[in-house]
A and B are shown apart, each in its own frame.
Chain A
Amino acid sequence: MHRTKVKVVEEALDANNTIASANRADFDRAGVKVVNFMSAPGAGKTTLLERVVADLPGVRVGVLEGDVQGSMDADRLASLHVPVTQLNTDQGFGGECHLDANMVRSAIPALPLDEIDLLIVENVGNLVCPAEFRIGEDTRVMVTAVTEGEDKPLKYPLMFRACELVLINKIDLLPHLDFDLDHLLYNIDQVHPDVERIILSARTGEGIDGWREWLLRVAAREQVAA
C-alpha cells in the first residue's frame, strides 16, 4: 500500500452555496425579494413580523416559517391573513438547528411565489448555525434583544457580521435591566462597523416604523445578480 495526496482546495460549503444560488435564481425569476430573518430563541422575531407583515402598503408579503417542531409561530402569522408556509426541521437527528439551502429548496414548490413580492424566512432561533448557511436570500437581518446582554456581538461575531441590519428589540424593558445600550452599540460597531441598526420595541411599537420602512425599501430594490 502507498499513500497518495490529492489536492482538493474546495470550500466545504460550496454545495450549499450552489443550491442557494439556484434558490435565488428561482426567487429572482418570480420577482420576489427574500429576507433571511435570524436571532436567538425568544428575541422577538415572530412578534416583530406580526407588527409589520399586514401593513406594508403595495407589498405582498409571504412568510416561510422555519421551526424545529410545531406550527405555533406559523399560526400566529397566518391569523394576519398573510400566506405562511411551515418548514419543520425535525427529520433526521431530532431537529436541525438552522435552515440550509436544501431545506428551503424543498419548500419552494409550496411557496405562493406568484402572489407575493417579499418573502421573509424566519430561521430557527439560534445565533451560531444560521449564520453559516446561505439559503438564497437577498439580505440578512438579525434581532438582538436587550435582555441578552451587551456582549453578544463579541460572542457571536459571525452572525453580527453576516447581517445587513441589526434590530435591537425589547427596549421597553430597559428601565428594569442593568443594561448599557451604548455599550451594546459600541460592541456592534466593533464587530460590524457601520452596520445599519434600528432600536425598537415590538411590544410598545416604538421604532417599528423604521423596521417597516426598511422592509419597504428592500422590496423596492433593483434586482442584482446573486
Chain B
Amino acid sequence: MHELSLSSAIVNTVVKHAADRRVAVVNLRVGRLRQVGPDTLEFYFEFVARDSVCEGARLNQEVVEARLRCNPCGLEWGIELPAFRCPTCGGSDVVVASGNEFEVDSIEIEEAECIAPR
C-alpha cells in the first residue's frame, strides 16, 4: 500500500504549485518500473485529496515505457520483463533511459475569467 504515501506525495507536490487555486486535473507520468497500481493510486488519491486544493480532481496517469541503454555498446531497447542485462553484449553496465518516472507533469486549474483592467 505504498500508493497511500505516493498519493500524499502527489498532493503535496501539487499544493506547492497550485497557489491556493482549485485543481481540476493532475497529469502524472508513471514509469513502468515503479510498481504502482493505477487503480489503487487513484483510490488513495481521491481520499488524500480531500480538504485540499486537489479535492475532486481527476488523476490522469500516463504510463512511461521502460527503456534501457547499454553504456559500452550503445544499444537502447524496451523491456516488458525485468531483465537488465544487455541482450547484445551481455554486459551489466546498463542504465534506465526511461521507466523510473513518478512525476507530476502538469496541473490544470479552474479559474474565474479575469475582468480586472490590464
Contact = CB atoms under 8 A, between A and B. Distances in A.
Interface of A: 1-16, 93, 96-98, 100, 128-129, 132-133, 153-154, 156-158, 161, 189-194
B54 interface: no
A98 B108 CA distance: 32
Given A3-B108, A3-B110, A5-B106, 9 more contacts: A1-B111, A8-B13, A8-B17, A8-B107, A9-B106, A12-B6, A15-B13, A96-B5, A133-B2
Given A8-B105, A9-B103, A13-B102, A191 B84 contact: yes
Interface residues of B, number: 38
A193 B85 contact: yes
Contacts, number: 106
Nearest to A7: B106
A15 B16 CA distance: 11
A9 B26 CA distance: 11
B34 interface: yes
Given A7-B106, A190-B82, A128 B35 contact: yes
Nearest to B86: A193
A93 B4 contact: yes
A190 B92 contact: no
Contacts of B85: 189-190, 193
Given A190-B85, A191-B83, A194-B92, A6 B102 contact: no
A10 B103 contact: yes
Interface in B65-95: 81-85, 91-92, 94
B84 A133 contact: no
A129 B2 contact: yes
Contacts of A189: 85
A18 B84 CA distance: 28
Interface in B99-116: 101-113
A96 B106 CA distance: 28
A1 B110 CA distance: 6
A189 B86 CA distance: 12
B33 A157 contact: yes
B83 A190 contact: yes
Nearest to A6: B107
21 contacts: A2-B111, A4-B109, A6-B106, A8-B14, A8-B104, A9-B104, A9-B105, A9-B106, A12-B9, A12-B12, A12-B102, A93-B4, A128-B2, A129-B2, A132-B6, A133-B2, A154-B81, A154-B82, A156-B35, A157-B35, A193-B85
